[in-house]
Amino acid sequence: YVGKRRGKGTFVAYGQDAAGGYDDATLPALLAEALSAEPAASGLDVHYQPVVRISDGRREAVEALARWNHPVIGPVPTPVFVAVAEATGLIGRLDDFVLDRACHDLAGYLAAHGGDVSVHVNISASRLGQPDVELAADDCLSRHALAPRHLVLEVTESAPIADPEAAVRSAKRLRSKGIRLALDDFGAGYSTLALLRRLPLDIVKLDRSLTDLPDATPGGLSPEALCRAMLWIADEMGVMVVAEGVETAEQVAALTRMGCRYAQGYRYGRPEPFASLFSAEAASSGEGALSGEAGL
């Protein structure tokens, strides 16, 4: 297992949080079944979390995050079923389900309201370098008549990439089509600095462990120092930086001080269904625009 699963204990902790009584052994079969069923019956769903510009809270994008509320066993935490999908080879189908829903939802929104909002979709790093991910992205964009600049693919280096050369070629092809690429969870993965040098990127997302400044362990290199260094490197590379897991005003102040311009986290909004994200915004702004600025 790869991804957010960091040992057996992780599953126990998630199990205690979850309302339902799922059991590890049955998840692969249930997930395979869900991916073949109609979404309405499978309990598979997509929630969205805003990515904002810190200076004025403008919504630059929304990140699509897979959700699974199984009709019988109840909600399964995302890191749990994503790890199952990675381990069982179902990840491509899960990613494609989310990609399709995300393009559908955003295309519908843009058709009605216009604007420059984009959608971030997570893809397994194991797929970068395989032609199917490019085909899936192309197909999805054309079916929903969505311009490539509205799509950002997020890749987490949760395990060493099997064929880095192929991954780099794949990244170049995606970007030449106008699809943007983000390196997710930077600072939490494997050989991320090496990858950063080779992968052509548009966005780097700083992992929560780097932006969780107040809880820094004393001694050694502080998260703030790492964060500062990363912002400097990103600037040199000309990539946009998004701080993940921003929850407090203190974090916002520290990030602003360091020159970080974009953030995502509970402070700016939790993941929620597309429709409620939209209605909350409509209620607060009176305009119903996903983007914080009118007429963009």
d(CA 98, CA 271): 14
Does 269 participate in binding ligand C2E (rule CB under 6 A)?
Answer: no
First CA to last CA across the chain, in angstroms?
Answer: 43
Three-state DSSP at 83 gives helix
Residue window 103-142: x/- pattern of binding to Mg ion, with contact defined by CB under 5 A: -------------------x--------------------
Shortest spacing between CB 8 and ligand C2E, in angstroms? 18
CB hemisphere CA count around 270 (13 angstroms) = 1
Q: Which of residues 14-53 bind ligand C2E (CB under 6 A)?
A: 49
Shortest spacing between CB 16 and Mg ion, in angstroms? 21
Q: Kindly state the DSSP code that residue 214 receives in the 8-state scheme.
A: G
Shortest spacing between CB 61 and Mg ion, in angstroms? 11
d(CA 248, CA 129): 38
The dihedral built from the CA positions of residue 9, 14, 15 and 21, taken in this order, carries a sign that is negative
Query: What is the number of residues in the chain?
Result: 296
Does 184 participate in binding Mg ion (rule CB under 5 A)?
Answer: yes
Among the residue ranges 10-18, 89-97, 98-106, 204-212, the one whose residues contact Mg ion (CB under 5 A): 204-212
d(CA 195, CA 192): 5
Q: Which of residues 54-113 bind ligand C2E (CB under 6 A)?
A: 65-66, 78-79, 82, 91, 94-95, 98
d(CA 65, CA 76): 13
Q: Which residues of the chain form contacts with Mg ion (CB under 5 A)?
A: 122, 154, 184-185, 205, 244
Q: Which residues of the chain form contacts with ligand C2E (CB under 6 A)?
A: 4, 49, 65-66, 78-79, 82, 91, 94-95, 98, 122-124, 154, 156, 184-185, 244-247, 265-266, 271
